[in-house]
Every structure is written in structure tokens, then in C-alpha cells.
Amino acid sequence: MLHTLAALVENHPGVLTRIAGLFARRAYNIDSLSVCQTEDPELSRMTIVVNGDDQVIEQVRNQLNKLVIVHSVTDLTAESVVNRELALVRIKVSSETRAEVLQTVTIFRGRVVDIGRTNITVEVTGDIEKIDAFVNAIRPYGLLELVRTGKIAILRSEV
């Protein structure tokens, strides 16, 4: 099962190596990883999507927690969370296909961010399933380049 872990880690060199090394040595496969700054300048936030059964995930969490540079690890899988990923997609277009492609982009609430003679570049955000669906929808027209940020997630606030 896919799990989404959010780790608050110290923001200095060597941190990524320690974490990547931990995953590599124990052969935990990272499905996606995103790192960004947080509201606290000393801390970065890593959103790690990793595949494994509950026992493996518990080990991953414990091993991460053990690192001095890791301040906290939360498993966001079972929790109520908002997930987002952003994708930039370059799609082949011709005069015949352009309208159809733009229509698809609109359906997915994408935005055109760049236009070339034979291609357009589109920005799409959403959960992983939505991005996957968009990519599949435009693939027949010619998928030239795909960049995805990896998943980021935040807990829903209690009401």
C-alpha cells in the first residue's frame, strides 16, 4: 500500500544523503519525494510517498525518527489530508489537434503557460489520480515532456 509520510527535517547539507541512504540500504523504494522550505527557516519539509505493508512503514517511520536531523514524521495516509501535485506537460499540437487539446486542458482546469509553433506547455494541479488521468487523456496527441513535482500533502484542519 502507498503511504504518504511528512517529515520535518533540518535544513542543511547532508540531510538528503542521510535520508536517501536510509531508504537505499533497507531497500525501501521511494515512489515520490518532494522537499521544500517551511514556515520555520531552520526546517524543511519532506513529503515521501513509499510503498509497503504496515510493518515496513512502521520501520521506515522509526528509522527516520531515529535520525538526529529528523524532527518529526507523520503518516498522512490514514488521516484526513489535502493532497496536491503539480505537473508541467508539453504536448504536441497541430492545427487539427490544437482545439481538442485545449478543450481537454480546460476540462482538467489546466492553464497554458507556454506556446510554441508545434507544441504547447500546460500546468495542471490536483491529486495524483487527476494528474494521471490528464496525462492519459493527452497522451494520444503526443506527450513531449512531463515534469511532476511529486506529491505534497497537508492535514485538514479540524472544524
**Best CA proximity match to 101, nearest among 86, 85, 115:** 115
**How big is the site for another protein, counted in residues (CB under 8 A)?**
22
> Closer to another protein at the Cβ: 63 or 121?
63
Q: Out of 29, 65, 94, 136, which residue is the one contacting another protein (CB under 8 A)?
A: 65
Q: How many CB atoms lie within 10 A of CB 109?
A: 11
Is 155:77 a contact under the CB 8 Å cutoff? Answer: no
Closest separation between CB of residue 114 and another protein, Å? 36
Closest separation between CB of residue 17 and another protein, Å? 6
In degrees and rounded to multiples of 5, residue 49 shows phi and psi of: -105, 125
For residue 118, the one-letter residue type is T
By rule CB under 8 A, what string of x and - marks binding of each residue 9-28 to another protein?
A: xx---x--xx--xx--x---
Binding to another protein (CB under 8 A) within 39-58 occurs at 55, 58
Residue 2 CA to residue 19 CA, distance in Å, equals 18
> Closer to another protein at the Cβ: 52 or 142?
52
Closest separation between CB of residue 16 and another protein, Å? 11
Q: Is 71 in the site for another protein (CB under 8 A)?
A: yes
DSSP state letter for 157 = P
Site residues for another protein per CB under 8 A? 8-10, 14, 17-18, 21-22, 25, 55, 58-59, 62-63, 65-72
